[in-house]
Amino acid sequence: MLAGVIYSGKQGRMNNKTIIIVGGGTAGWMVAAALSRFLEHGYNIQLVESDELGTIGVGEATIPQIQLFNKALGIDENEFMRATNGSFKLGIQFVDWLRPGHSYMHAFGTIGRDLGLIPFHQYWLRARALGSNASLDAYTLSGSAAFANKFMRGAPTVNAPMGAAAYAFHFDAGLYAQYLRRIAEARGVVRTEGKITSVALAPLTGYVENVSLEHGLTLQGDIFIDCSGFRGLLIEEALHTGYDDWSKWLPCDRALAVPCAPAPVLTPYTRSTAQSAGWQWRIPLQHRTGNGHVYCSAYTSDDAAANTLMKNLDGKALTNPRPLKFVTGKRKKIWNKNVIAMGLAAGFLEPLESTSIHLIQSAIQRFINFIPGINISSIDVEVFNAQIDFEYERVRDFIILHYKANQRDDPFWRACREMPIPQALTDKIELFKTNGRIVRFNEELFAEAGWLQVMSGQGIEPQNYHPLADQPSEEDLLGFLSAIRLAVSQGVHAMPSHAEYITEHCRATGHYA
């Protein structure tokens, strides 16, 4: 399609355009904080939300890319951690996913060190064929540190060959939203309290012109960011964009969330434990542990799911479980006319790999890349949507992999094992099963190390390895791998405990504790 003007804003390049953010919470205030940082001139940024409606707030775990977002906003990491009762995250432990009694870690960062022209894991596969039983965790600083409950920023030893451990965060999503609100409002974002009662569309174009609040105020804008949650007030209720339902691949449709008292040991990783009809998350914060049970209502009742959740807590529940119903999928267009959906308004992928907050971050970055000057161009919108679609679909496939490759006997898990899956995922699995190859396409989120850990952890075994892995002698190969394991072990030994590191650098105080 040729580029064409599909919306004309106010005349003059970037002359006082108004961006209205509908909805607060994590998504709304991430958008507000980022736009107020990078759109300093020529834009009026407003956010409208209602305290009565509240937010979902299920996402408290992140992936390492969140560091880039915080740094771009000029956020001091220790201050942020104190303000959000945060802890550090080195990866995700998957318990009982392959079968009961089995577990593995999807750790952040690199695995081992590449040698020559082929990736490290090809040498690891050859060593396994020779009888080695060393797990992938032994070659990852983040993975080994996670199991040892150790953490530090920066390289743990002088001239450390493994470098620093890659990490992300656990934090209280509500406190994070409050923290970003303070930043955004200090930079000029105007917040309006109230419920939106009507949305006005332009008669000729069907674009959103304004939103009216229950107390009579009307807010006019050029661009609207819909952060209204599952409801999709603008993107769906006003524009009828449509929704791609992915429940045939990801059948879980409900969740229960509950915080509990913290465990004695503050672990630096998220834990995901498979249950008979879904899975349970555990996210350790300084002041509490976040827990939830994602499940499929066709295979278990709400009461049974709640019982499963409550009997697997670290300590006393701090509230009653909060229910959530959802349909996995995304809007057919994330950007439709002059509305861009973000957060739950854009779509929902269960938080198995902690991608919820990242998908907000990614959408913000793409919107800034494509932000209109005088006009909104159709080709910009098409490419933006194509990029977002690709990212959602590849994340979707990565999550499906966890369900598809299992050896459990429960009816739910058997159904997942037998279900047809997207062709792109089938190809990825077959490529790995033949010769251990992993190919990353375009800008898909998860790198080769992530696919390797999950495919291997879920029991997918390559039939062969790359022939170049046979080039080193057996003695040289085993010596090379032993040296990496030693470097990892020494690095972990030099680290303080996770709790000690937080106490020294970023312990929450005052009303956050």
Residue closest to 97 by CA, chosen among 406, 412, 425 = 406
Lookup: tokens for 134: 């060393």
Is residue 89 annotated as a catalytic residue, yes or no?
yes
CB of 275 closer than 8 Å to CB of 293: yes
Three-class SS of residue 254?
strand
Dihedral of alpha carbons 9, 14, 18, 21, sign = positive
- Tokens found for residue 220: 């006019």
Structure letter (DSSP) for residue 116: T
What are the structure tokens assigned to 119, written together? 């990736």
Catalytic residue among 10, 17, 71, 89: 89
* Residues facing residue 20 across a β-bridge: 46, 224
CA 59/CA 311 separation, integer angstroms: 22
Q: Are 109 and 146 in contact (CB under 8 A)?
A: no
Distances, alpha carbon 78 to alpha carbons 72, 86, 265, 496, in Å: 15, 9, 21, 17
> At which residue do the structure tokens 């305290």 appear?
51
Is 428 within 8 Å of 451 (Cβ atoms)?
A: yes
Tracing tokens 């707030």 back to the chain, one arrives at: 57
Which class for 485: exposed (0-12), middle (13-18), buried (19 or more C-beta within 10 A)? Answer: middle
The tokens of 498 are what? 């996770």
What backbone torsions phi and psi does residue 201 show, to the nearest 5 degrees?
-110, 145
Strands, E assignment, 344-502: 347-348, 375-377
Cα R_g (the chain), whole angstroms: 24
Are 6 and 333 in contact by the 8 Å Cβ rule? The answer is: no
Q: Would you call 388 helix, strand, or coil by DSSP?
A: helix
- Residues annotated as part of the active site: 89
